[in-house]
Every structure is written in C-alpha cells, then in structure tokens.
Structure 1
C-alpha cells in the first residue's frame, strides 16, 4: 500500500540522514586531505565514516525509544542504507569531478565550496528517493514506527 508522503516530510528525513552523512563525509575529507591520502583512500574513509555516523544518529533515536541494541541496529540498517549509499555516491562523485578540489588544501575555498556543493547536490537528488521509499513504508518510515510507538 502506498502512502502519500509530503515533500516536506521527505526533505526532513533526507536532512536527518544528511546530518550523519555530512559529519562523516566532512571528517573523512578533512582527515584524508590533512594526511595527504590519495583521493581513493580519502573517499573510502569518508564513505565509511558517513555510514558510521549516519547509522549512529539513527540508532541513538531508536535506542532512546527503549528498544534493544540489536533491534536499533536493524532499524538503522533498514532505514538508512539506501539513502546513505545514494548520498555518498552523489557527493563523492561531485567533489571528485570538481577539478583540483581533492588536491586543494584545507585552507582552500575550492575544497570547502566543492564539499558544501557536493552535499547540497546529494540532498536535492536523494530527497525524491526518500519520498518514494517512505511512501512504500521503507527507508526512514521504518524509524518512525519506533518514534511513534513509544
């Protein structure tokens, strides 16, 4: 059964997901750039940290609703995996595609503007996906079952 999901609700879910993604993405890019890691290693680090922080933020809310750790982990995996994967694919593709962005230092406007733009693109292009998933009871809709149940 398909539910009608507003763009506002989809944007809120995407913004929630983007928060964890952005923390991990920015941290990975900063660590990789500061350490002089190759582009591929920096991207891998950013993606791993985006998933860790994304899942952690979701789990925090679900655990607060009173469920056990294992259930909270399952909910986070079900709620966020597709959204985080798409966001990471998009934002890393954008920042890697900007000439010189990955080689620019942390003191470079090019680095920070490219990173901010990549996250904005990820948000804009992932919101319709999240709206579609929520309307089918998937993605972030899984988390709402726990927020409203307790």
Structure 2
C-alpha cells in the first residue's frame, strides 16, 4: 500500500472517519436509498402520469419518467448541499457524484418492472393495474438498489460524498 493510501480514510477501514466507509451500515444504505427513491418516485410518477395523459408512446413515457427522475433526484440532493452553503456548480457536482449510479440502477429496475407487467403501461390513470405496477416497480427498485448503495457507501462513493455537507442522509 502506498504511503498516501495508508493515510487516506477512504481506502483503509482502521483510519475511516464517521462519514466514510465505516458508516456503510444497512441503516445508512436504507436512508440513502429512501432519499434517492423520493426523487426517483416523484419523477417517475410525474413522467408516467404526464406521458399517459398526453397519449405518448410507451417508450416516450418511459424516457420522460427517466429524465424527470434524474432531475428530481439530483434536485433533492442539491437542495441539501446548497443549504450547507455550497455554490450551485459545486452542489451539482456533488449531486452527480452522489446519485448517478443509484438513480440509474433504480430507473433501470423500476421501468423494467412496469414495462414487464402485461398491460400496465396501457391501463390508464384510473386503473389499479397502472398504479399497482408503478408502486410494485418502486418497491423492487428500492429493495435491489439498497445493497448497491451500501456497497458504494462502503467504498466512500455514491451517497457517502453527501455526508460531508449534511449528515442526515
């Protein structure tokens, strides 16, 4: 191990600070994933509702949902970082670093589930099938993204970078 790596808390557990790899508990991973899920769910639901109401093709509805999930996901993270006094450009960099993998995994999973449920995308906004498939897709995304977030946090990546700015997430 190089001398610099030996003193880098992100690379060694025995030197880890409380916001680094040692904080990679399931509770921290769940909190990070719930934070991500909040932004993703807002964007996902809004995209599905707007796309369905506008009569967009299913692919366009999914694309809109994905874009909005990233916008809202990054926006929620930036909000907390901006409150800590960080400038907009730096806050955007923190959000991109903290959330990109988590949001991407979550969006891949929840959209795959919604598309895989027969008739869900075409069921309409008044259908239990539409809302049930959407809720189920978000649950699946949460359950399968939580271990990804725990793994990333244990390596000082993903949502771990946000701890420096606001320790509640």
TM range (shorter): over 0.9
Task: Tell whether 2:127 aligns with 1:108.
Answer: yes
Alignment of 1:1-150 (within 5 A): 1=11, 2=13, 3-4=21-22, 5-148=24-167
Deviation, 1:145, is 1.2
- Tell me how far apart the structure 2 counterparts of residues 17 and 44 of structure 1 sit (CA, whole Å): 18
- Structure number with greater Rg is 2
Cα RMSD over matched residues?
0.8
Q: Which has the higher helix share?
A: 1
Instruction: Give the stretch that moved more between structures: 139-148 or 65-74.
Output: 139-148
TM-score, with normalisation over the residues of structure 1? 0.97
With the length of structure 2 as denominator, give the TM-score of the two structures: 0.86
Which consecutive unaligned segments of at least 5 residues does structure 2 have?
A: 1-10, 14-20
Which string of whole-angstrom CA distances, capped at 9 and with x for unpartnered residues, describes residues 86-137 of structure 1? 0000000000000000000100000000000000000000000000000100
Task: Mark the runs of 5 or more structure 1 residues left unpaired by the alignment.
Answer: none
What is the aligned residue count? 148
